[in-house]
Amino acid sequence: MSDPDETQSSLSISREKKSNAPDFLNETYALPNELTEEFLTILLTENSNFVENLPLGSGSYLKTNVVQYIFTICIRLRIPDDVKYFAIDIFDKFMNIQGIALWDAVARLNRSNKAKYKIWSKIEATLSRQLTLRVVTAIQIASKLHSFHESLAQTDVRKCLQALGFPYTIEAIHKSELRMLKTLNFELNSRRNPAVYMINFLKMLLRSRPEIGEHINGLYRYCIFWLDYTLINRTEVFTRVLSVVHSGNPVKITKDALARVQSDYSLLGCAVIIAALVCLAGPQIAETYIKELSLITTVSEADISDASTGLVRTLLKDKSRFEQ
């Protein structure tokens, strides 16, 4: 069976094939410990502020089919792993801001509710037709955040859209990029990415527990698998995480509580590392890394344990469902 990354497709664009994994063992250009700790403090503070001041509607557009669509396009375009995580954040933020603005504009119209409903229905139809363009635009912007030199050019975007059945012009693609950037007020935080948290946590864990160095690339690939699985199945995974937190007690999980835990990238970064260690070395050995990871990230041992347990249990439930 061929590697999915090697599958030939009309969507694939000829790009240089190289490893997407960070070079964890090369310390030549790595930050010294004191600067790494300072950077981690910035990451943790930004994450905490984001969760506490969660924007209204955050995550609303990250449905399973949309996230799968974005991930599939990124795989076919052979772009680095972290680009797809930038892309879903950019796409969700843009769609959320745009949706609220359009809704408010319709609500302010001096029309009957019936007329407003008809207008909104037309707007929804237009947004639906533009969905693929917005998705690919988000990927293009995300690729520039990762590396402008290796980013998707407008010709790449046009070829991709044509392969998907949407023959947009270069001008339309350019306007879509400007529309998205203006809507976001050109405020793009390249650190708002679960892979950034996971990679930096993993680098620090490697420094304190060097024995994982022998298997670091395999561990990284497992972490990417768990990030993909979690983000594709966001609602199911984090609902189970919250049920683990409440020890299975019949507690009503509110939308706000679910949205906040879904947006906590510090917790997610820790959870995927422990889940990856479970895959690589087994649950007993994985548990021995929780305390160290908690010291590095300030995420409590209980939260790391509950979150990683929720991830693994959700996957096991999926596995048993397919085996029936």
Structural domains of the chain ordered from first start: 60-189 (1.10.472.10), 194-323 (no CATH)
147 burial (CB, 10 Å; 0-12 / 13-18 / 19+) is: exposed
Conformation bin of residue 111: beta by default, left when phi > 0, alpha when psi is -120 to 50: beta
Residue-wise pLDDT tens digits, 243-263: 888 775 666 788 888 999 999
Residue 146's pLDDT band (boundaries 50, 70, 90)? confident
Residue 323's pLDDT band (boundaries 50, 70, 90)? low
Rounded Cα gap, residues 168 and 172, in angstroms: 6
Residue 39 is predicted with a pLDDT of: 87
Helices 131-146 and 64-76 pack at an angle, to 10 degrees, of 60
Residue 104's pLDDT band (boundaries 50, 70, 90)? very high
Would you give the distance in Å from CA 194 to the centre of its chain?
A: 6
- Residues 279/284/285/286 CA torsion (nearest 10 deg): 60
Rounded Cα gap, residues 30 and 211, in angstroms: 19
Residue 148 is predicted with a pLDDT of: 74
Q: Which has the closest alpha carbon to 82: 21, 123, 131, 127?
A: 21
Write down the residue that tokens 């680098």 correspond to: 203
Residue 1 is predicted with a pLDDT of: 39
Q: Which has the closest alpha carbon to 233: 262, 213, 206, 204?
A: 262
Q: What is the CA radius of gyration of the chain?
A: 21
Q: Which has the closest alpha carbon to 135: 318, 8, 11?
A: 11
With beta carbons less than 8 A apart as the criterion, state whether 88 and 70 touch: yes
Q: Check pLDDT > 70 for residue 321.
A: no
With beta carbons less than 8 A apart as the criterion, state whether 280 and 269 touch: no
End-to-end CA distance of the chain: 24
Rounded Cα gap, residues 60 and 111, in angstroms: 28
What tokens were used for 79? Answer: 């772009």
Rounded Cα gap, residues 41 and 54, in angstroms: 19
Residue 2 is predicted with a pLDDT of: 41
Residue 6 is predicted with a pLDDT of: 45
Q: Which has the closest alpha carbon to 276: 236, 323, 321, 220?
A: 220
Q: Which has the closest alpha carbon to 78: 146, 15, 138, 163?
A: 15
Strands, E assignment, the chain:
none
What tokens were used for 295? Answer: 């010291």
